């Protein structure tokens, strides 16, 4: 029997909507260590952050060596710069990679902190609407080619600034990858074995916002209203899954993404329907608790759901339609992944997925064989 989750925690203060970067001018401290990437520097967002901190009379040191899917080498480089700066404020501005790296640096630094030194105040400013990393205690770091999921309350940011002007220059493909990732976060949190009324409320609202605003943003990236809504949805999904956990969509995605160096959001998108089918038991009686919750989502979206099975199928069909509308591939084959190499990697990937930190909160406990069947189905 699975343990009932009776806790809901939100450590992070959230300041939302355009222009909220100015919240940095209210910070108190002496030295800020800023973790970002070269793109944010080139687009001028890093200088905006530095200008705000100067107005607050706070000194700055910047580390812009972040790369997609940050690995232990990046963390080590960042840790060295962090220790040299001796900051009392840590700021991450960028996509999930920048925020995850900042969390990795913070966690590594905690192993060397003098007991008399306080943990730096941690501010996260997302430049993509996808990971929800600005409010979670999750961080995904690559080690030896594997994606390792770090989970610790210590690394949850103290302040999240959701200024959607920071995503207006994001390429359309990244907007789609991260937007679908929001949908996956909310869907998995909703059916998680650790879901609560509080996480369900966040997940339901998130899913409504994604279905309404991701297509609009795909058509017009300058749609500031939809940009705000999706940015907020990403954060709400983060709140949901940091409390409820995720599931095997993420476990499978971490493994295949690490093996073939694929965008995390796109991997999640390709896997989602097959995982819903499995969790709902569509090939059987479709009477699982997860099936009932998927059907409830269909009703919330005003889709046909006269029976549980019809509701699950309707939700899957709605996801397929959304993916077609925004240009998501139907399988990994369309991403030019060699079939032979894929099949030869199945045993390794399924073993990595079964051991992933996201697997225990999946609503249905999978076997290695079942995970392998999902991989085969989505090729």
Taking only the tens place, the pLDDT of each residue in 341-353 is 999 999 999 999 9
User: Which residues sit opposite 123 in a β-bridge?
Assistant: 91, 159
- Mean of the pLDDT values across residues 139-165? 87
List the domain range (segments joined by +) for residue 135: 13-167
158 and 226: one domain? no
- Mean of the pLDDT values across residues 276-298? 95
243 and 345: one domain? yes
pTM of the model: 0.85
User: How much is the pLDDT for 1?
Assistant: 38
Indicate whether 5 pLDDT > 80: no
Indicate whether 141 pLDDT > 80: yes
- Mean of the pLDDT values across residues 75-91? 95
267 and 373: one domain? yes
Q: What is the pLDDT of residues 154-180, one digit of tens each?
A: 999 999 999 888 777 778 888 888 899
Q: What pLDDT band is residue 114 in, cutting at 50, 70 and 90? A: low
- Is there a domain that residue 6 lies in? no
256 and 154: one domain? no
User: How much is the pLDDT for 126?
Assistant: 92
Give the C-alpha distances (Å, rounded to integers) separating 237 from 148, 336, 352.
21, 30, 25
Q: Taking each helix axis as running N to C, give the angle between helix 172-191 and helix 308-326, from 0 to 180 degrees, rounded to the nearest 10.
A: 170
- Mean of the pLDDT values across residues 354-376? 96
Last residue of a domain, which of 167, 191, 219? 167
255 and 110: one domain? no
Residue 49 in contact with residue 166, Cβ under 8 Å?
A: no
For position 178, which CATH number holds? Answer: 1.20.1090.10
Q: Return the higher-pLDDT residue of 221 and 225.
A: 225
Last residue of a domain, which of 167, 196, 217? 167
Task: For residue 4, give every residue at least 6 positions away whose Cβ sits within 8 Å of its Cβ, in sequence order, or none.
Answer: none
User: How much is the pLDDT for 17?
Assistant: 79
Domain count, the chain: 2
Percent of the chain with pLDDT over 70: 98
- Is there a domain that residue 3 lies in? no
* Nearest C-alpha neighbor of 376 from the set 270, 295, 222: 270
Whole-number average pLDDT of the chain: 92
157 and 182: one domain? no
- Is there a domain that residue 40 lies in? yes
Specify burial of residue 171 (Cβ count, 10 A radius: 0-12, 13-18, 19+).
exposed
Percent of the chain with pLDDT over 90: 73
Q: Return the higher-pLDDT residue of 65 and 322.
A: 322
Q: What is the pLDDT of residues 252-286, one digit of tens each?
A: 999 999 899 898 899 999 999 999 999 999 999 98
For position 69, which CATH number holds? Answer: 3.40.50.1970
- Give the Cα separation of 214 and 218 in Å (integer): 6
136 and 94: one domain? yes
Indicate whether 94 pLDDT > 80: yes
156 and 195: one domain? no
Q: Return the higher-pLDDT residue of 89 and 43.
A: 89
100 and 42: one domain? yes
Q: What is the pLDDT of residues 41-50, one digit of tens each?
A: 888 999 999 9
332 and 243: one domain? yes
User: How much is the pLDDT for 118?
Assistant: 87
- Per-residue b or e along 66-82, where b marks 16 or more CB atoms closer than 10 Å to that residue's CB: beebbbeebbebbbebb
152 and 294: one domain? no
Q: How many CB atoms within 10 Å of residue 47?
A: 12
User: How much is the pLDDT for 272?
Assistant: 98
Last residue of a domain, which of 116, 135, 167? 167
């Amino acid at each position: 029997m699975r343990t009932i989750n009776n806790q809901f925690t939100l450590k992070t203060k959230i300041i939302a909507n355009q222009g909220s970067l100015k919240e940095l001018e209210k910070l108190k401290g002496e030295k800020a260590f800023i973790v970002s990437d070269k793109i944010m520097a080139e687009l001028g967002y890093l200088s905006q952050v530095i200008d705000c901190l100067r107005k607050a009379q706070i000194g700055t040191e910047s580390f812009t060596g972040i790369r997609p899917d940050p690995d232990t080498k990046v963390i080590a480089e960042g840790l060295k710069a962090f220790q040299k700066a001796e900051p009392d404020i840590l700021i991450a501005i960028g996509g999930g990679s920048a925020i995850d790296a900042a969390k990795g640096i913070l966690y590594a630094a905690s192993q060397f902190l003098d007991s008399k030194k306080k943990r730096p105040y941690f501010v996260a400013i997302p430049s993509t609407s996808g990971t929800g990393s600005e409010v979670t205690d999750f961080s995904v770091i690559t080690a030896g080619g594997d994606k390792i999921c770090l989970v610790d309350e210590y690394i949850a940011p103290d302040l999240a600034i959701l200024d959607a002007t920071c995503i207006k220059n994001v390429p359309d493909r990244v907007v789609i990858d991260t937007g679908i990732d929001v949908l996956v976060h909310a869907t998995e949190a909703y059916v998680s074995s650790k879901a609560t009324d509080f996480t369900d409320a966040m997940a339901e609202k998130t899913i409504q916002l994604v279905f309404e605003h991701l297509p609009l943003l795909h058509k017009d990236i300058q749609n500031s209203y939809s940009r705000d809504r999706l940015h907020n949805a990403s954060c709400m999904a983060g709140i949901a899954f940091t409390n409820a956990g995720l599931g095997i969509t993420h476990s499978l995605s971490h493994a295949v993404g690490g093996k073939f160096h694929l965008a995390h959001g796109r991997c999640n998108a390709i896997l989602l329907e097959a995982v819903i089918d499995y969790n709902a038991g569509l090939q059987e009686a479709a009477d699982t608790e997860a099936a009932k919750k998927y059907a409830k989502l269909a009703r919330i979206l005003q889709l046909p759901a006269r029976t549980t099975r019809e509701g699950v199928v309707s939700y899957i069909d709605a996801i397929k339609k959304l993916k077609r509308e925004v240009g998501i591939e139907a399988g990994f084959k369309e991403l030019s992944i060699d079939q032979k190499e894929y099949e030869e990697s199945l045993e390794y990937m399924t073993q990595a997925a079964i051991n992933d930190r996201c697997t225990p909160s999946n609503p249905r406990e999978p076997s290695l064989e079942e995970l392998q069947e999902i991989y085969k189905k989505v090729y």
